[in-house]
Amino acid sequence: MTLEFVHQSSAQRVRFGAGRVVENIADEIAERGATRVMLIASTEEAGLAAPIIARISPVLVWDEVVQHVPIEVAVRARAAAVDAGIDLLISLGGGSATGLAKAIAMETRLPIVAVPTTYAGSEATNVWGLTEAARKTTGIDDAVLPSAVIYDAELTLTLPLGLSVASALNGIAHCVDSLWAPRANPINAALAGEGLRAIAAGAQAIVKDPVGLPGREEAQYGAYLAGVAFASAGSGMHHKICHVLGGTFSMPHAETHAVVLPYVTAFNVDSAPDAERRIADALGADDAVSGLQSLYAGLSAPTNLADLGLRETDIAEAVSIALPSIPPSNPRTVDAASLTSLLHAAWSGAPVTTVRG
């Protein structure tokens, strides 16, 4: 077999350490000589933010954080950053807080230090997302890639168990989708395989011991690899579907990814034998679909889109918006009929079966 590909790495510093967040943020600020920090942290993360605020005295604390980054929120936050003469953005929270920092950086070119509290992985990507008039748009801009990421597993101890599981599966979705995304290559596939293994192991440990740190640390490590793999490979079929469900139907991000992933995997793997083997190996299973099924069963993962608020009558609109965005590089050809049937199955939580042929 010959190997021929182009791989792009992103420049980013990662500081990892449980209980180290305040020191690590202070070090980042000192190294950059930043004097006017904007801390983005929603009211739900106020408890996590308090010791950081006490140490670094940001000139602005922004707590309006909304999932999928509505454009109105981005516009308000950008104006506030400019008015306050900010020289460094620090985001503390899940993908929504990171996403708002990215929306500000898109316009202002301010650097970001991201402090993730979920396993969404946005901190490792140069991908931004904005929602306007019920349409979520995503794009790539190196200015939104956080220049530093600070992981502290203690920050994730407050993440409720159900959300911890869903967020970990969101990380796994980054790994799986990057195996057939438009810029998939052996380097991001290697990162995806190890990311998948680590997040699966981490999630299982979190379910066994939700207040233990080792599972949370392993999930964070895997979430970072997942984000790097996803940023490098691009958005595949799974992400294109979930963007529509999130942006147009306001579906909760992590849970939606968790539900859709086994159906997309079952749709693609028969046409993607290398990806199938990589997923199965990472999960220690005979095949990708049964590996995901037993992982999901052990985690009590969410199983259908109906419970998350999608109406059956929304499926036709979701298909019409998502279909044109699915990359032509997807291993199996997708048409309206197959996407409709996939979304119906995910909507009702029908048994996941590998599509053959």
Where on the chain is the footprint of ligand NAD (CB under 6 A)? 42, 44-45, 67-68, 93-97, 99, 117-118, 120-122, 125, 127, 129, 155-156, 158-159, 163, 167, 170, 246, 253-254
Shortest Å distance, C-beta 43 to ligand NAD: 8
Q: How far apart are CA 266 and CA 269, in angstroms?
A: 6
Q: What b/e string do you get for 301-315 counting C-beta neighbours within 10 Å, with b at 16 or more?
A: bbbebeebebeeebb
Nearer to ligand NAD, 244 or 289 (CB): 244
Q: How far apart are CA 36 and CA 47, in angstroms?
A: 22
Closest residue to ligand NAD in the complex (CB): 95
Q: Which amino acid is at 86?
A: I
Shortest Å distance, C-beta 260 to ligand NAD: 13
Cα distances (Å, whole numbers) of residue 150 to 9, 15, 44, 91: 19, 5, 19, 10
Shortest Å distance, C-beta 119 to ligand NAD: 7
Shortest Å distance, C-beta 30 to ligand NAD: 25
Give the burial class of 129: count Cβ atoms within 10 A of its Cβ; 0-12 exposed, 13-18 middle, 19 or more buried. buried
Shortest Å distance, C-beta 255 to ligand NAD: 9
Q: Are 117 and 92 in contact (CB under 8 A)?
A: yes
Task: Assign 17 to helix, strand or coil.
Answer: coil
Shortest Å distance, C-beta 65 to ligand NAD: 7
Nearer to ligand NAD, 122 or 303 (CB): 122
Nearer to ligand NAD, 93 or 262 (CB): 93
Number of H helices, E strands in the chain: 13, 8
Q: Which residues pair with 309 in a beta bridge?
A: none
Nearer to ligand NAD, 155 or 326 (CB): 155
Nearer to ligand NAD, 122 or 248 (CB): 122
Nearer to ligand NAD, 239 or 278 (CB): 239
Nearer to ligand NAD, 34 or 259 (CB): 259
Tokens of 266: 């079952």
Closest CA to 330 of 197, 241, 223: 241
Task: Assign 70 to helix, strand or coil.
Answer: strand
Task: Assign 246 to helix, strand or coil.
Answer: helix
Give the torsion through C-alpha atoms of 173, 179, 185, 188, to 10 deg: 30
Q: How far apart are CA 158 and CA 39, in angstroms?
A: 19
The strand order across the sheet containing 60-62 reads 13-16, 148-151, 112-116, 88-93, 37-40, 60-62
Nearer to ligand NAD, 78 or 174 (CB): 174
Q: Which amino acid is at 66?
A: V
Q: Are 115 and 217 in contact (CB under 8 A)?
A: no
Shortest Å distance, C-beta 193 to ligand NAD: 19
Q: Which amino acid is at 315?
A: I
Nearer to ligand NAD, 184 or 280 (CB): 184
Shortest Å distance, C-beta 287 to ligand NAD: 27
